[in-house]
Structure 1
Amino acid sequence: MTRSFIEFPSDFVFGTATAAYQIEGAAKADGRGESIWDRFSHTPGKVFEGHTGDVACDHYHRYEEDIKLMHELGIPAYRLSISWPRIFPERGKFNQAGIDFYRRVLETLHKYEIEPAVTLYHWDLPQYLQDEGGWANRATVDYFVEYATKVFRELGDLVPKFITHNEPWCASFLSYGLGHHAPGHHDWREAYAAAHHILLSHGKAVEAYRAGGYQGEIGITLNFTWVDSASNRPEDVAAARREDGFANRWFIEPLMKRQYPSDMVEWVEGRIGALDFIEPGDLESIASTIDFLGINFYSRNVVQAGAGNAHLESQVVQPSADRVTDMGWEIHPESLYRLLTWLKSEYTADLPLVITENGAAFRDELVDGEVQDVDRVNYVADHLEAAKRFIDEGGPLKGYYLWSFMDNFEWAFGYSKRFGMVYVDYATQVRTVKASGKWYSGQIAHHRAANVR
């Protein structure tokens, strides 16, 4: 079955996305310093089969061919991230070679008329900062602003859209509380302090960008998980509300309402003590005006009371096996529509929204030079239809970036999960466009042609 293409407004932007540690490799090239993911992935038992990002997709050496492939597919926009340890490999030590690499990448994107969107932080904190407490240490806020300001000055002329942080939930709760990501801690007080400091560093970086007089746009990307209660039982409804507060409201509310959700503050303080890492003026900085909100969406959670997440006294109900991706995540595009509608109604009003990640992992196989990932084609098409429904009802959704451009290092899952629209043979580094990449290229070509008429 071939999926039909979907009509979008003329100003809608289609793109694709990656992240530095997941694709670049060249872990020690040209003065790059160690990141928390270098340390974490080299720690036995932390990443699937001991995989690391040392080589990854070797994009550091192959960026020109990768960007040319994007051009051949007609991709008009590309979201990439910058490796902080390439820019400041040691505290206070600037590395010109790191900036020069990203300038070459950005200039190549412009050569092929691909618009870059640059994420400043996609989880690769310099290890020397983690040695001093990482994001749980308030001083990291100042180091981030120093790094961000340097990037603005050095590369701002080539970047029309900056994203301060990717998924603060993952960089704090998943990393310092649940321990699944680097640095792999299990300390909920650290986790909430880290979340606050990441949001504060976002606000301070936005302030620095405005003060610099740059002409582009700046925003932040949050990951959202739509939450439904497993039943109408009061205990399940309450558990779902806590899950929503933990996954969604803890991050969107300070950005848009200058406060943390009161129900969650009461819950959290009952478990970790007073949130005394929040200082006067912090929430005003966090709520600095942004030009857009980035949204990463993959799935929903159906929640009941239970012990699965001891911190929340909640339990995620497993979805039916025939409607899940290779990550075990339920395929539920209706939840994307509901999420977008909720955000507009409760928080963002007319603020432009951009889907900065959406996609799916499946067990792709290269057979006779082709990858027939029909499930991914249907996943993307179904989510685009949900996005279009929101737009048709007046929603200010302005873009969609497919995750990911190519298969890559999938964090704690190593190379065992494939999200790309381009298949990567990690032994040979040969790239093969999957059926989903061809369909997405066709969707973009259809969009372009429809808006030329």
Structure 2
Amino acid sequence: MSRQFPESFYWGASTAAHQVEGNNVNSDFWLMENLEGTVFKERSGEAVDHYRLYREDIALMAELGLNSYRFSVEWARIEPKEGQFDQEAIDHYRDVLAACKEFNIMPIITLHHFTSPQWLIRAGGWESMETPAKFARYCEHVMRELGDSIPYVCTINEANISIGITKIIKRHQTQNAAQVGINTGTMESMQKYFAALGQAFGVPPQEVHAFLAARSEKGLEVIFKAHTQAREAIRKVSPQTQVGITLSLYDIQSIPGGEVHAAHAMQEEFLQFLPYLEEDDFFGLQNYTRYVYGPEGYIPPAEDAEKTQMGNEFYPEGLESVIRYASMHLNKPIIVTENGIGTENDERRIAFIDRALQGVHNCIGDGIPVLGYMHWSLLDNFEWQLGYSKTFGLLAVDRSTQERKPKPSAYHYGNIANTNLL
């Protein structure tokens, strides 16, 4: 049975600036990657050179049949020093938006995707109550310059991710690091690394508050206030742009006796943030797997369960459940801003896409306003601390030549996008 999607559906893929552009030298992550004893498996370096090759990549998306592209603008490029905006960087992203228009690709912009300018971290980072105003100032500048070409903007990517990071760190105490996908090294080397980190940023190690880290309650408030202040600033200079945020949501399930743990997890990871989202125009939803809770709390995937390169259970059905749950609590259009799988087996990527999209189609059929699906990721790229070892892309990249090679999944997904049929 074929499944028809709306003619207006947005079919796209996502990237994040630091993971694909290369040479993001003013960002906090660049500094962290290049420290001696770094916890990063490798440096981002030139990444996949998307800063130079963006036009070819966008043309390739259009050739495949996609009609939208979610990508991020890099704060550390736009404002490399506090209060000093780089016109060359703005012009670069204006060119990226022009390429999207040329190839009939609808852009969805993210203004913060994990990386921050080094100066922000030195000034207290994502635990400082001064950060929301600084972030709003940056967002206002970008949208004043580029907003006419941006129909949708996500202020912050996965604003709730610190909660998941905290849980993973706790689980790591009893699980193998490779299983949960965090390269932590030994306690001694970590202590040396954090000491070097503090020295590099010129603050005590415990005051290095990058975005992708465990957060205090105050830090969570900083992040969501940054969102609401940015939303206000964006609307002032680009009122026609639809403003939202993205959250990382697991399909939270329970077995008998685990209901209280599951309810607590959903409150902690999603429901507590609803007041900050009330005035948003849309919701960016991101899902990769499920979490199951029992009487004792979180239950790891079964030993014989199929798992991705990230150690996640292969569970594309989670997307439908999360869309349904979010729509019960948010009366807003939803864009799936990330959904995908780290795997070397592209047949499993195809299966993941098909099963995830079946769920999206079911939701649309029941009247839930899902506007689009952005697959993560367009390109095999730099997976943060894990380097280039995890492959999420529709396009493989030979990093010795930066040549792109569409995988069978790219053609498969492109065919769905071309026909609006699953």
Shorter-chain TM band: 0.7 to 0.9
Corresponding position of 1:292: 282
Cα deviations by residue, 1:412-451 (Å, 9 ceiling, x for unpaired) = 211110000000112221111001001011111112xx7x
**What secondary structure, in the 3-state scheme, does the structure 1 residue paired with 2:287 have?**
strand
**Change in CA separation of 1:239 and 1:127 when aligned onto 2, cut-off 3 Å:** same
Deviation, structure 1 residue 212: 2.4
Deviation, structure 1 residue 220: 0.9
Deviation, structure 1 residue 213: 4.8
**Change in CA separation of 1:164 and 1:176 when aligned onto 2, cut-off 3 Å:** farther
Deviation, structure 1 residue 177: 9.7
Deviation, structure 1 residue 111: 1.0
Partner letter of residue 359 of structure 1?
A: G
Deviation, structure 1 residue 322: 4.0
Partner letter of residue 391 of structure 1?
A: I
> Which one of 374, 383, 389 corresponds to residue 356 of structure 2?
383
Corresponding position of 2:236: 211
Corresponding position of 1:226: 251
**Change in CA separation of 1:342 and 1:150 when aligned onto 2, cut-off 3 Å:** same
- Determine if the alignment matches structure 1 residue 26 to structure 2 residue 8: no
- Determine if the alignment matches structure 1 residue 107 to structure 2 residue 98: yes
Deviation, structure 1 residue 299: 0.6
Map 1:169-318 onto structure 2 (within 5 A).
169-170=160-161, 174=165, 178=169, 190-229=215-254, 231-233=255-257, 236-251=258-273, 253-256=274-277, 287=278, 289-304=279-294, 306=296, 314-318=297-301
**Change in CA separation of 1:414 and 1:238 when aligned onto 2, cut-off 3 Å:** same
Deviation, structure 1 residue 172: 6.7
Between the two proteins, what is the percent identity of the paired residues? 33
Corresponding position of 2:339: 358
> Could you tell me the TM-score, scaled by structure 2's length?
0.85
- Determine if the alignment matches structure 1 residue 446 to structure 2 residue 415: no
Partner letter of residue 348 of structure 1?
A: L
C-alpha contact (below 8 Å) 1:77/1:116 kept by paired residues = yes
Cα deviations by residue, 1:269-306 (Å, 9 ceiling, x for unpaired) = xxxxxxxxxxxxxxxxxx4x111101001111012355
| Rounded Cα–Cα distance in structure 1 between residues aligned with 2:156 and 2:33 | 21
| Rounded Cα–Cα distance in structure 1 between residues aligned with 2:243 and 2:407 | 32
C-alpha contact (below 8 Å) 1:225/1:297 kept by paired residues = yes
| Rounded Cα–Cα distance in structure 2 between residues aligned with 1:187 and 1:81 | 20
Moved over 3 A (4+): 43-48, 175-188, 319-322
Ranges in structure 2 where 5+ consecutive residues have no aligned partner: 171-181, 184-207
> Which one of 23, 27, 37 corresponds to residue 35 of structure 1?
27
Partner letter of residue 405 of structure 1?
A: L
**Change in CA separation of 1:92 and 1:426 when aligned onto 2, cut-off 3 Å:** same
Cα deviations by residue, 1:314-351 (Å, 9 ceiling, x for unpaired) = 43422354422221211223332222222222x113x1
Corresponding position of 1:274: none
| Rounded Cα–Cα distance in structure 2 between residues aligned with 1:114 and 1:185 | 30
Report which structure shows greater RCO (CA 8 Å, sep ≥6). 2
Corresponding position of 1:9: 6
- Determine if the alignment matches structure 1 residue 348 to structure 2 residue 348: no
**Change in CA separation of 1:387 and 1:70 when aligned onto 2, cut-off 3 Å:** same
- Determine if the alignment matches structure 1 residue 409 to structure 2 residue 382: yes
- Determine if the alignment matches structure 1 residue 396 to structure 2 residue 386: no
205-214 vs 124-133, which moves further = 205-214
Map 1:430-441 onto structure 2 (within 5 A).
430-441=403-414
C-alpha contact (below 8 Å) 1:227/1:302 kept by paired residues = yes
Cα deviations by residue, 1:102-130 (Å, 9 ceiling, x for unpaired) = 11111111111111111000011111111
> Which one of 347, 354, 378 corresponds to residue 374 of structure 1?
347
**What secondary structure, in the 3-state scheme, does the structure 1 residue paired with 2:270 have?**
helix
C-alpha contact (below 8 Å) 2:13/2:376 kept by paired residues = yes
| Rounded Cα–Cα distance in structure 1 between residues aligned with 2:402 and 2:291 | 36
**What secondary structure, in the 3-state scheme, does the structure 1 residue paired with 2:250 have?**
strand
**Change in CA separation of 1:426 and 1:209 when aligned onto 2, cut-off 3 Å:** same
Deviation, structure 1 residue 45: 5.1
Give RMSD over aligned pairs: 2.4
> Could you tell me the TM-score, scaled by structure 1's length?
0.80
Aligned residues: 386
C-alpha contact (below 8 Å) 2:336/2:373 kept by paired residues = yes
